[in-house]
Amino acid sequence: MPFFGSSKKSPQELVKAIKDQLQVLGTKSAKGYQTDKKVSEDLTKNLQVMKTMLYGSADSEPSTEVVAQLAQEVYNTGTLILLIKHLIRIDFEGRKDIDRIFANLLRRQIGTRMPTVEYLCTKQEVLFELLNKYEEPETALLGGRMLRECCRIESLTKILLYHEAFYKFFDYVELSTFDIASDAFSTFKELLTRHKMVSAEFLEANYDRFFVNYQKLLSSENYVTRRQALKLLGELLLDRHNFTTMTRYISSPDNLKLMMNMLREKSRNIQFEAFHVFKVFVANPNKPKPILDILLRNKDRLVEFLTKFHTERSEDEQFIDEKTYLIKQITELSGPKDQMEVLK
């Protein structure tokens, strides 16, 4: 135990002090929120103390016992939700300490149990409070970071995916501020790709609603949204966990038309990403008739187009192989009519 600094608060006292200070800052009067500089400064100091308790310092490791007491107190007093709710009323550096505190508590483990995760499963509003931060520019990136920490945990990902609020992402990724929009996209992607089984089940169960919304991203006016959405689509379809979703996606002639048009977009990066979705349609051994019809109608054009397509990528062997394969597949395509003629 330290001999100096006997004024050190116990974890219980510390959490209580933080909670009280948050309540002062979170009190709304007719004039708006309180801006008590003293309280705000003290809060920042307390958060720093809390962070040090959890992380240890340069020359001391954190004490397991203190951490356990601290975490328990945070759960019992509902301080976590308060911290996140009032994030914007905490000063710039204090906010970042909250991010660190959150990340540390979240990964806490006792044997196989993860107490903070268990706590969050019962207090789901914390997760949605974090999600709402995307609507508050000053704290959006911090909220995003904390949310992505949650995405590492399967059970929390499940809660987020199946909640109505998930569809807010389709607006967030289109926000005009690049850093916030692209942060939201990272979180969105994380939710859909980290826990394969969970997201595959989610996509199957919510196919229609998801892809109606996704379509908007693919036709977004924002170049980055369009490009990122297209890239993620390719990744999702090519993941074997998403086989059912892929089969459904590549049976739709509208989806094929969209990809063929994107092959012709002026942006070469978008053309390239579109290629990786388009190839799935062509490679499908059981093409439904409408898909086959479109490909047949455009057979010669497609062959000509693909032959000239991104010829400068001479070092990307996989791409060249795939392109050659597609050209071969399309050249060999034959419709029912042709087959009849062959029979004659």
Residue 260 lies near other proteins (rule: CB under 8 A): yes
User: Among residues 154 and 304, whose Cβ is nearest to other proteins?
Assistant: 304
3-state DSSP assignment of residue 109: coil
The residues, ordered by sequence, that sit 6+ positions from 231 with a Cβ below 8 Å of its Cβ are 273, 276
Q: What is the pattern of x (binds other proteins, CB under 8 A) and - over residues 194-233?
A: ----------------------------xxx--x------
| Residue selected from 114, 117, 126, 142 as contacting other proteins according to rule CB under 8 A | 142
Contacts 24+ apart (CB under 8 A), 237-241: 237/277, 237/280, 238/276, 238/280, 239/193, 239/196, 239/200, 241/196, 241/197, 241/199, 241/200
Residue with tokens 């962070």: 51
Measured between alpha carbons, how far is 106 from 87 in angstroms, rounded to an integer? 18
End-to-end CA, the chain: 95
Q: Tell me which of 113, 196, 209, 264 binds other proteins, using CB under 8 A.
A: 264
Applying CB under 8 A, does 113 fall inside the site for other proteins?
no
Residue range at the interface with other proteins (CB under 8 A); choices 1-9, 31-39, 236-244, 279-287: 31-39
Residue type for position 42: D
Q: Least separation, in Å, of the C-beta of 341 and other proteins?
A: 21
Contact stretch for other proteins (CB under 8 A) within 7-15, 134-142, 163-171, 324-332: 134-142
For other proteins, which stretch binds (CB under 8 A), given 72-80, 240-248, 300-308, 325-333?
A: 300-308
- Number of Cα atoms under 13 Å in the Cβ half of residue 227: 12
Site size toward other proteins, by CB under 8 A: 50
Distance of CA 156 to the CA centre of its chain: 13
Minimum gap (Å) between residue 270 Cβ and other proteins: 9
Nearer to other proteins, 222 or 251 (CB): 222
Residues 6+ apart with CB under 8 A from 295: 256, 281, 282, 287, 302, 330, 333
Q: How far apart are CB 142 and other proteins at their closest, in Å?
A: 7
Interface residue with other proteins, options 209, 268, 289, 328 (CB under 8 A): 268
Report d(CA 304, CA 34) in Å as an integer: 68
The distance of closest approach from Cβ of residue 232 to other proteins in the complex, given in angstroms and rounded to an integer, is 12
For helices 11-25 and 37-55, angle between their N-to-C axes, nearest 10 degrees: 150
Q: Identify residues 88-107 at the interface with other proteins (CB under 8 A).
A: 88-89, 92-93, 96, 100, 102-107
Does position 298 bind other proteins by CB under 8 A?
yes
**246 and 237 in contact (C-beta within 8 Å)?**
yes
| Beta carbon nearer to other proteins, 63 or 186 | 186
DSSP string, 152-178: TSHHHHHHHHHSGGGGGHHHHTT-SSH
Helix/strand/coil (H/E/C) assignment for every residue in 200-219: HHHHHHCHHHHHHHHHHHHC
Q: Which residue lies nearer to other proteins by CB, 200 or 260?
A: 260
Report, in Å, the least distance between residue 229 CB and other proteins.
Answer: 13
171 lines the binding site for other proteins (CB under 8 A): no
Binding site for other proteins (CB under 8 A): 32-33, 35, 55-56, 88-89, 92-93, 96, 100, 102-107, 135-138, 141-142, 149, 152, 176-179, 182-183, 186, 222-224, 227, 257, 260-261, 264, 266-269, 294, 297-298, 301, 304-305
